[in-house]
Amino acid sequence: MDSDPTDIKSLAISATDLVAAIEAAADGSETVLRVTPPFSGRMRARLHVVQPDDDDGPILIEPGSLLATDAPSYPTPDDTADELRDADDETYSVERHRTYHEQRLAEWRESLPDHVVDSTTLTDTEHDVTVSLLGP
């Protein structure tokens, strides 16, 4: 059983896990993607909520480090309320805002996988790995 994290050459990440991690982190949860030993050349990073008793074995990857700088930011309720109020062709109401916010979140979730980087540096080991996105 190999436990040298520098053996990792590529990470496979579910698009669903990545979007969930980014969204949870935006909402204030300490959510990351985690790779657990034994380490090998190709590893799968999975969604993980950091716990106080987490040990030092796994590698924790900040989800934002897997996105390009041009990735759209998480649309907060305040952001979407401002967008709706600024739109000339829309009238603001609480119901309209809820619908609009849900629409913007769905668009954001759908577009985020298009902004995943091809490679990243694992901060625990300071070495580069390629990134492969799984799923739609």
Contact by Cβ (8 Å): 30, 62:
no
- 78: containing domain: 68-115
Co-location of 82 and 34 in the same domain: no
Q: Which amino acid, 45?
A: A
Q: How many domains would you assign to the chain?
A: 2
- Burial of residue 50, with CB atoms counted within 10 A of its CB: 0-12 exposed, 13-18 middle, 19 or more buried: exposed
CA 88 → CA 79, 83, 130, distances in Å?
Answer: 16, 10, 44
Do 61 and 9 belong to one domain?
Answer: yes
DSSP 38: S
- The pTM of the full predicted model, rounded to 2 decimals, is 0.86
The pLDDT of residue 2 is 57
Whether residue 81 sits in one domain with residue 128:
no
pLDDT value for 90: 79
Q: Which amino acid is at 62?
A: E
Q: For residues 27 and 44, give the distance between their C-alpha atoms in angstroms, rounded to a whole number.
A: 24
What is the predicted pLDDT for the residue at 27? Answer: 87
| pLDDT beneath 70: ranges in the chain | 1-2, 56, 136
Note whether 46 and 90 are same-domain residues.
no
